[in-house]
Structure formats: structure tokens, C-alpha cells
Chains A and B, each alone.
Chain A
Amino acid sequence: MSARKPVLEIRGLRTQFFLREGIVTALDGIDLTIYENESVGIVGETGCGKSMTAYSILRLVPHPGRITAGSIKYKGIELTTLDLDRMRSVRGTEISMIFQDASTALDPVFTVGSQLDEVISLHQGIYEKVALEKKVVEALELVRIAAPKEVMEMYPHELSGGMKQRVMIALALSCSPSMLIADEPTTALDVTIQGQILKLLKALVAKTGSSMMLITHNLGIVAETCDRICVMYAGRIVEDAETFELFEHPRHPYTAGLLTAFPKLGEKKDELSVIKGTVPDLMNPFKGCPFVDRCGKAMDVCSKHRPSRVEISRGHYVSCHLWSGGEPSDG
């Protein structure tokens, strides 16, 4: 385990939005390490900063947002201070991203082939027609599109939703990045196609040896696809553990709440359990734990001090006073 090389190391990442009404802290001290050949799932509710983490890594935080603190190291290169030209060559070649809705992420006026051409020629410097076509066909075959030569000539509107997502994955993988960020890649698809796409993603990651960061709000998806899961809440990672460990021993009350809220097959319930309350306003900086108002086990210290991140067992990190103050860590 310790021999694994980290691909991406995020330390204390803070991204803030400077609005007229005040400062919104979208990400507040994210610590995350993704190792080689590892799939990490980022789970959390809408607005907790999952996508913002991805945008911050690629340095594509939309205006008026800015990374204000922390470091993002990709294979030892500091991304937060990298000059724009080199950052551009990182995007696509080193770190690639798949978007939620492929039907809006593909340019409607270009054929599939010419969109792939663009990325390949941009990053690999191949301009010759025959060589380009070969590369495009390879990329499409990789995502198991049966008739790549025909699909190449098609416009996005001629393809089905699943096919479009495959093309999007082909685009993202065409320059064999070491790190793939998938931002809710299956949300816009129906369940059957979801399964296919996830299987494909998993197989591709294994085949190309790249790491994957899968962003979703669906615990079922991460359980199937990822080696490790990070649970995010209000711009922080509250729990980070191996998939099996997290599902068996959720330590943070929020994670535990999420897991009980998730209905299981064969279980009879009249009412689904919910976590009461709403997400705190990110405009007001909070001193303590962001989950305190909704937490059933809140103590006095929770609203006063911010919980630190502790490793309670090997590779299982939690940010909660229940574990840092109450019980000693056994890792």
C-alpha cells in the first residue's frame, strides 16, 4: 500500500467566490490524495463543492471565484501557480474531464470526428489526415463504439445519449491522461445505460492505468465503481475511507445519516429516513463543524472549534469531534 505513488495531492485547498453580497467559501480546506491507478468517489449533496473541487484542480474556477489557499500537486508539479500555457497542456493530456451532460458538452456544429481531431492535433501535434483518422478510430474503438468510421461522420444530435457520453469519454481519453475527472457522468442517462457507461469507465481506467475521480451524489454508483470514497459536506471532506470500510463503519454522523437515508433492496419501510435541516449558508464563516446544526450527536465543542482530520484506522480519515476528542485513534 505504501509503495503506491500519489498522482494528485491536494492540501488545504480553499476556493472562494467574491460576490457583491460577501465572500462565499465554496471549498474550505480540502485534503485529498489520489494514488496511481485508483478510483476515488466524491459524494455529497448539491452545492457541497464536489464539482468545484474538479474545477479547482483544472484551474477553471469560474469568475468571480478564485483559489485563495492551499496547494494542488500533480505528480509533484504545483498546479495552483503553474503558468497558463503549461496549465493548458496539462488539461486534456494529463488531467481530463468528463461532463455531466454529453449532449451539451459536445459542440453541435461539428462532427464527432472533427471534435476528436481537434483535441488530438492540439495535444499530440498530429496534423496528417490519415494518421489523424487512425487515431480517431482508435479512440472510438476504445470506448466500444461498434462502427467508428460511421460515427466519426455523425453530428452529436444524430447520436443517442449513451453514445454521446461514449464520445465524450473518448474525447477525454484520446490523449491518455493519467488522471480522469468524471463529473456525474451518468446523471443524464437512464439506468441501463448508466450501468454500461460505469462498467466501461471502470474497464478503461483499469486498462489505461490512469486514476479516476468520480463525482456523484449517488452512493450506489461509487460503491460499484470506486476503491475509495470521500464524503463532502459544506466545502469540506468530512470522511475519507476505502469503499468497503465506509459502508461497513461510517464514522461521521453525516455519512451514517446518508447511508441510512439510502433505501436498500428488500427492506420494508413506510417512510424513508432523512437528515433533518438544510445545508448551512456558506456566506457566513462558521467557527466549528458545519454539520453541527443537523447533527444528533452534537456536543458543546462542535460549535466552537473546527474538528481536525484524524486517521481512526488505516486509511480511514474523519473530521469529527466524536473521534478526535472522545475516542483515541487506533491507526
Chain B
Amino acid sequence: MRLRKALNDKLLAWKMAGGVRQTLAGILERGGRNPMVVIGFTMIVIIISIALLAPVLPIADPTQQNLEPGQQLLSPSSENWFGTDENGRDVFSRVIWGARVSLTVAMVAVVVSMMIGIVLGLTAGYFGGKVDYIISGTIDLFWTFPPFLLALAFAAALGAGLMNVILAISISYWAGFARLMRGQALSMRERQFVEASRALGARHWRLMFTHVLPNCIAPLIVWASIGVADAITIESSLSFLGVGTKPPTPSWGWMLSSGILYLGNAPWISTFPGVTMVATILGFNLLGDGLRDVLDPRMKGLRR
């Protein structure tokens, strides 16, 4: 009996994944015809692949200081594409390594907050009643604060460091996902296929995870895509203010902030990480906005 139950659980997870996969396949198919999605997706893929390839690319060590006279604040050249900073470090290499940090923090934070949001939002929306009352209250409590302020407070309390930044962003960002998921679940649980499945003897958790969740995945993807852009901004802002990742870990926010002093005579120190950050955020926003258009049922007829 226990074995059968375990098998059943395995099957359930597999089914849930199947439902999600089907939705994703649909999104990909329709997204491929939307220019915003294609451009945003391409930008993100390029940036992520460069960030992933950082260790094997022939670039300087981003933390290697060069304190020999005449090696600091060099303007962009064939040797140092983006110039060097006040400690003689290669800005180009630091921008690439900084992408690894920013993207990791943003994506992990979004995944964590999405998971918190899905579980709480699904529970609230599916069960309703008192459970919903309590969870919704908590969501609204978090929703009252702008995510950045909340993240700043948590980061300041937890102290600088990669894990702490991820934690701070996750804690302050999950409410959006939970709200979205709750609304979706609320409308899905009234749908007849959920009722039909219940009439055929399915349990609550089966209904929640195999029938409600896969049908709600589309708006979550849009929210996640825009969420990554938000999280990059938050992470950079935290680092800019000195409560984010600790130097010498290269981070866009920290580079922006340290370059301010030299903005007059060495503008490249701040400009290049800034431009890269804008490009990344633009990529994720384009993808998110494009997907929203693609998934909007009113646009379906037009795009097909």
C-alpha cells in the first residue's frame, strides 16, 4: 500500500510537470511569432551565455588589481575594452563577472519567491474561507511595502553577502506571486474540469497541483520574467547602497557606486556596467511584456 502510494505520488509529480510542459510548449510556439519576445529572449540568451562562459573566456581576472603607476583609470583601448578602474582592474571582465552575480541573485530570488508565492497563493485561492483570510492578510501586509524598501530593511538587518541578498529579495518579492496565484486559483477552482475531477474521486492536493496549477502557469511566467528585471534592479540598488554583495565580488551596483567618484575623468567605470544592466533589464522586460501580449486571450486571434 505504501509502495503504491509512493508510486502514485511520483506519477502525480510527473503529471504536473506534463501539464506545465504543455503550457510552456504553447507559450514557446506562440511566442516565437512575437517580435518583442524574440528580441527579449535573444538578448537574455546572449547575456546569460556570456556570463556562463566567463571562466573560459580569455579575459582578465576581475579581482586582479594592478597598482603599478599608470595602469589605473585607463580609457577603453584594444587592451582593456571597457578601460580600467581606480585599482587598475579590467572593467570589461568585471562587467561580465558582475553579470554572473546579478543574474544568479535575481533568478534564484525569483524562483524562491515564486515557490513561496505558488504554495501560499494556491492554498489560499483553492481552499478559500479562513485559510484564505489569513494568507491574504499576510500577502497584503507584505504588499503594502515597496519591494525595494522591504529588501533594503532585510538586507540591512541580515548584513551584506550573496545569500543574504537572495533571502532579502525573496522575502520582499513573494507577495506579488502569491496574489497572482491566489486570483488564478480562485477562478480555476470553479471551473468544471476541477469539479469533474472531484466528482471522479480526486483529492485536494491532486486537484491543486495537477489541475489548478498547470492551468495558472502562463501569467506566472510573465510575472517571473518581469520579476527577474525587478530583482536585478533591487540587487544593484542594494549593492549601490553598500548592503548587497560584498566587494571584491564584482557587482554592477557596486561598480556603479564606486565609479561615481571618477565620473568626470573616467566615466567608463560607471557607464559600462550601467549600460549592460539596462540591456539585461530591457531584455527581461521585453520578454515579459511580449509574453503578456501573447498570453492575453483577447490578442489570441490577432496573433495567430
A residues whose Cβ falls under 8 Å from a Cβ of B: 58, 60, 63, 88-93, 96-97, 99, 101, 104-110, 114, 117-119, 121-123, 125, 127, 155, 168, 171-172
CA distance A11 to B201 in the complex (A): 24
Q: What's the interface size class on B, roughly?
A: 20 to 34
CA distance A63 to B214 in the complex (A): 25
Closest Cβ of chain A to B61, distance in Å, is 48
Contacts of A96 in B (CB 8 A): 199-200
26 pairs across A/B with beta carbons < 8 Å?
Answer: A58-B199, A60-B195, A60-B199, A88-B201, A93-B201, A96-B200, A97-B196, A97-B199, A99-B192, A104-B192, A106-B193, A107-B19, A108-B193, A109-B214, A110-B18, A110-B22, A114-B15, A118-B206, A119-B200, A119-B201, A121-B8, A121-B11, A125-B4, A127-B7, A155-B22, A171-B196
Q: Is the pair B200, A172 in contact by a Cβ cutoff of 8 Å? A: yes
Closest Cβ of chain A to B13, distance in Å, is 13
CA distance A33 to B24 in the complex (A): 49
Majority SS at the chain A contact face: helix
Residues 171-207 of B, flagged 1 when their CB comes within 8 A of A and 0 if not, give: 0000000000000000000011101111111110010
Q: Is the pair B200, A107 in contact by a Cβ cutoff of 8 Å? A: no
A118-B210 in contact given A92-B201, A109-B23 (Cβ < 8 Å): yes
Q: Is the pair B193, A171 in contact by a Cβ cutoff of 8 Å? A: no
State whether the Cβ of B100 lies closer than 8 Å to any Cβ in chain A. no
Q: Is the pair B8, A114 in contact by a Cβ cutoff of 8 Å? A: no
Closest Cβ of chain B to A97, distance in Å, is 4
B204-259 CB contacts (< 8 Å) to partner A: 206, 210-211, 214-215
Q: Considering only CB atoms, which chain A residue lies closest to B10 in the complex?
A: A127
B1-45 CB contacts (< 8 Å) to partner A: 4, 7-8, 11, 15, 18-19, 22-23
Closest Cβ of chain A to B211, distance in Å, is 5
CA distance A118 to B197 in the complex (A): 9
CA distance A189 to B195 in the complex (A): 20
Q: Considering only CB atoms, which chain B residue lies closest to A85 in the complex?
A: B203
Contacts of A168 in B (CB 8 A): 196
Q: Is the pair A101, B192 in contact by a Cβ cutoff of 8 Å? A: yes
A-B CB proximity, top 7 nearest: A92-B201, A91-B201, A92-B200, A105-B196, A104-B192, A97-B199, A109-B19
A60-B198 in contact given A101-B192, A104-B192, A107-B193 (Cβ < 8 Å): yes
CA distance A311 to B282 in the complex (A): 77
Closest Cβ of chain A to B193, distance in Å, is 4
Q: Is the pair B199, A107 in contact by a Cβ cutoff of 8 Å? A: no
Closest Cβ of chain B to A164, distance in Å, is 11
Contacts of A122 in B (CB 8 A): 8, 200-202, 206
Contacts of B4 in A (CB 8 A): 125, 127
CA distance A105 to B195 in the complex (A): 8
Contacts of A106 in B (CB 8 A): 193, 196
Q: In the complex, which of the residues A99, A110, A123, A127 contacts B19, with contact meaning CB atoms closer than 8 Å?
A: A110
Q: Considering only CB atoms, which chain A residue lies closest to B128 in the complex?
A: A63
Q: In the complex, which of the residues A92, A108, A127 contacts B199, with contact meaning CB atoms closer than 8 Å?
A: A92
Q: Is the pair B197, A107 in contact by a Cβ cutoff of 8 Å? A: yes
Q: Considering only CB atoms, which chain B residue lies closest to A95 in the complex?
A: B199
Q: Considering only CB atoms, which chain B residue lies closest to A101 in the complex?
A: B192
Q: Is the pair A104, B193 in contact by a Cβ cutoff of 8 Å? A: yes
Q: In the complex, which of the residues A117, A127, A155, A171 contacts B200, with contact meaning CB atoms closer than 8 Å?
A: A171
Closest Cβ of chain B to A20, distance in Å, is 15
